[in-house]
Amino acid sequence: MGRWQRVRSHRGAVLAGGVLLLLALSSVIVPALSPYDYYTPQLQFISLPPTLHGAHLLGTDPLGRDLLIRVLWGIRISLLIGLAASCISVVVGVLWGAIAGYAGGAIDALMMRAVDVLYSVPFVPFVIVLTVLFGHQLWLMFVAIGAVSWLDIARIVRGETLSLKRREFIEAARVSGVRAARMIRTHIVPNLLGVVIIYATLTVPSVILFEAFMSFLGLGVRAPLASLGSLIADGASDMQAHPHLLLVPAVVLATIVYCFNFIGDGLRDALDPHERP
């Protein structure tokens, strides 16, 4: 595996990062410059298909709102939810799983049983209760989704820690008297990064889709705001008549997911200790 290939994959990651940055910046800048907004209906122009020369580049939605602007707002909301919830999940999940896996014994059992319990709690009533207690706030989405997503990461990290624990260099470190907290921070967690990054890049799209499912049930972002997930959910019901309503947000979502994966790959290649020449 030559250096060229490594650089190329890094370049892919850089490209992906650039695309994401572009999307994120557009989602803030373009709506400010555009004559259209995301909430004013224009009933004479509903569900127009995309046209290159027309007034609406990507067409309009069922209320006649410019789809490009709606999708850009959707990107903003989805990225926000995706990144925030994933950050929460990863931080909580990694710490939980690493501590449980390293500590072993009763602590491990207790922590993982707690994960089991939280896994089984029905999320729909949970979200309903949150919505009722705090109203339809956006940050609620982060909390609700983050609260559900960290569990998977915790399990995986705990599993990886279990096997890492037995590796020679860990034994060596332990013998030389390194304390548990330091052990976890400097030896375990960096070695987990490979798997964690892969999993984190898988989490972002699943978080966005989870939010779509919640929008489906009326528990997601409040209208007229839209997320990519809710745009896809709305478009899926009208697939045969107006495919662009589904295809545009779906392609955008796929692009974002691709980018996160490329970035994940690049990061893993860079950080993986076995990759260094």
The answer to whether 40 contacts another protein (rule: CB under 8 A) is yes
Tokens at 179, concatenated: 């304390």
Evaluate whether 181 touches 216 at the Cβ level (below 8 Å). Answer: no
The answer to whether 224 contacts another protein (rule: CB under 8 A) is yes
The answer to whether 212 contacts another protein (rule: CB under 8 A) is yes
Q: Which single residue is written with the structure tokens 């990863």? A: 90
The answer to whether 217 contacts another protein (rule: CB under 8 A) is yes
The answer to whether 173 contacts another protein (rule: CB under 8 A) is no
Task: Provide CB contacts within 8 A for 89, sequence distance 6+.
Answer: 146, 149, 150, 152, 153, 200, 203, 207
The answer to whether 261 contacts another protein (rule: CB under 8 A) is yes
Site string for another protein, 72-101 (x = CB under 8 A): ------------------------------
The answer to whether 160 contacts another protein (rule: CB under 8 A) is yes
Residue 121, φ and ψ in degrees, nearest 5: -65, 125
- How far lies 42's CA from each of 49, 86, 179, 235, in Å? 15, 36, 65, 18
Tell me how far apart the alpha carbons of residues 107 and 113 are, in angstroms, rounded to a whole number.
10
Name the one range near another protein by CB under 8 A: 18-26, 37-45, 71-79, 83-91: 37-45
C-beta closer to another protein: residue 181 or 254: 254
Shortest reach from residue 257's CB to another protein, in Å = 4
Tell me how far apart the alpha carbons of residues 102 and 167 are, in angstroms, rounded to a whole number.
12
C-beta closer to another protein: residue 8 or 52: 8
C-beta closer to another protein: residue 122 or 177: 122
How many residues touch another protein under the rule CB under 8 A: the total is: 81
Tokens at 138, concatenated: 């956006």
Q: Which single residue is written with the structure tokens 């990759």? A: 275
The answer to whether 23 contacts another protein (rule: CB under 8 A) is no
Shortest reach from residue 25's CB to another protein, in Å = 22
Name the one range near another protein by CB under 8 A: 18-26, 83-91, 137-145, 248-256: 248-256
Tell me how far apart the alpha carbons of residues 121 and 126 are, in angstroms, rounded to a whole number.
8
With CA atoms as reference, report the closest residue to 264 among 187, 190, 204, 212. 204
Residues 111-150 that bind another protein (CB under 8 A): 112-113, 116-117, 119-122, 124-126, 128-129, 131-132, 136
Tell me how far apart the alpha carbons of residues 81 and 143 are, in angstroms, rounded to a whole number.
9
C-beta closer to another protein: residue 1 or 52: 1
